[in-house]
Amino acid sequence: MPDLRAEILDEVRQTLSAELEISEPVELHHGLARDLGMDSMGAIVLAVGLEDRFRIKLSDVDAGAVVTVKDLVDLVERRVRAAPKEDKPKVDRRPGGR
């Protein structure tokens, strides 16, 4: 899944931008709370969206280890790669595909 990381980052960026009404680009080094102002409700919305989109489970323990956008992308990527093959999301390789 060579495009998996880019797809995860795109999904995180879109969700954060929409939920937090962020107009500036969301970068990997941004702190979710510190830089982007995400609160606990935003974290829940983001986690549920990522769980649904990538068919994974994220726990409270996972959330405690996530500080930056990069941490979140890394975590989701690990969970997707560790998921049983039939549970893995299909990456749409068409331009602009989701």
- Angle (CA) 84 85 87, round 5°: 70
- Token pair, residue 92, equals 């749409």
- Torsion from C-alpha of 10, 12, 15, 18, nearest 10 degrees: -70
Q: pTM of the entire structure?
A: 0.81
- CATH of range 4-85; options 3.90.45.10, 1.10.1200.10, 3.30.499.10, 3.30.9.10: 1.10.1200.10
**Domain extents in the chain:** 4-85
- Adjacent-strand bridge partners of 31: 68
* pLDDT value of residue 94: 58
Q: What is the pLDDT along the chain (98 residues), one digit of tens a residue?
A: 559 999 999 999 999 999 899 999 999 999 999 999 999 999 999 999 999 999 999 988 888 889 999 999 999 999 999 988 765 555 555 565 55
Contact (CB, 8 A) for 50 and 12: yes
